[in-house]
Amino acid sequence: MTDGFKIIAHRGASASRPENTLSSFECALEQGAREIELDVRFSSDEEIVVFHDDQLDKKTALTGRVRHYPVQVLEQVDLLPWFQGKSGREPSQSLEEKADTCIPTLKKVFQKFENSVHYHIELKGWDDRLPLLTLRVIDAFELQEHVTLTSFSKRPLVEIRKLNSEIPITFLLRDASDAITSHEFRPELEGLTLSEIHDYWLQMAANEGFQWVGIRSRDATPESIQTAKALGLEIRGWGVRQADEIDEMMSMGMIGATVDWPGLALKRLRDRLEHQETK
């Protein structure tokens, strides 16, 4: 029981395992999560791979863009050394089998977890065919009822809605600094306050038939939650850094959050419910 508040494992249990890998998603399920967030983009041969960054340099031994390598190469790229260096872990042979910490394809994620989890799939990059081919993979695995599609960009989500009128969509709102400099929504955002920018985006999401919006937790206000609900939208949070933020998000009326530590977040919800029941 989590009182209806959704805990979404951000790139899997990314505080415990290399993000966006089979290992990370498996760990999220072991911690009790039933919803996972993952990022998808194209390889050079237009296979859909699960990786967040546009560039490979920071997290792998390769250099350059993901889009410049074929899937056969990307599937051999191990994120474990980067994760061990980032987290301060002692280098080891592997946390699990090597393949589980490499870049997977979306097909392999679906093959492994099937309908045991709800997938929040964030479309990355500006490839015009990515929305269509992502929907084709979802259809091939008959997972339409187990997927929500998300993006910080309006364009791919509008394309998704044209192609599929029913699949749930979450429009992700940029953080405070990124919102002001966003090129996609200029000149519409020129001179607006952050609150006014959020109001503009919420109205846009409602007009386009999206169901959810995602907002950085520290930028959320009771007023933005109220505006969203009046427009028929629900708000979930992203960028959650501490477990005590969850209590505040729930108090404001948000319905979910993406977190790197789903086990800890789920425990927080259980403790909250137990406290309420003992009052």
Question: Quick one: pLDDT at residue 96?
Answer: 53
pLDDT tens digit sequence for 249-272: 999 999 999 999 999 999 999 988
> In the structure encoding, which two tokens stand for residue 26, read together?
């498996």
* Residue 20, H or E segment: none
> In the structure encoding, which two tokens stand for residue 217, read together?
């937790």
Q: Using CA atoms, how far apart are residues 226 and 29, in angstroms rounded to an integer?
A: 32
Instruction: Indicate if the pLDDT at residue 1 is higher than 50.
Output: no
pLDDT tens digit sequence for 72-112: 999 999 999 999 998 666 555 445 566 799 999 999 999 99
The total of other beta-carbon atoms located within 10 Å of residue 71's CB is 18
Residues 6+ apart with CB under 8 A from 230: none
The total of other beta-carbon atoms located within 10 Å of residue 178's CB is 11
**Contact criterion met (CB below 8 Å) for 2 and 274:** no
Tally the C-alpha atoms within 13 A of residue 144's C-alpha that lie toward its C-beta: 11
Across the strands, what pairs with 121?
38, 149
**Single-letter residue type at 7:** I
pLDDT tens digit sequence for 121-134: 999 988 999 999 99
What mean pLDDT is reported for the chain? 92
Least confident of 23-37, 75-89, 133-147, 211-225: 75-89
For residue 3, what pLDDT band results from cuts at 50, 70 and 90? low
Domain chopping of the chain, boundaries: 6-54+102-277
Question: What single string gives the DSSP state of each residue in 162-189?
Answer: HH-SSS-EEEEPP-HHHHHH-STTTTTT
Question: Quick one: pLDDT at residue 93?
Answer: 47
Across 35-47, average pLDDT: 97
Question: Quick one: pLDDT at residue 16?
Answer: 95
Can you give the pTM of this predicted structure?
Answer: 0.94
Most confident of 38-47, 170-179, 184-193: 38-47
Across 136-154, average pLDDT: 97
**CATH fold for the domain made of 6-54+102-277:** TIM Barrel (3.20.20)
Angle between helix axes 222-230 and 194-207 (nearest 10 degrees) is 20
Question: Quick one: pLDDT at residue 272?
Answer: 84
Angle between helix axes 262-277 and 244-252 (nearest 10 degrees) is 60
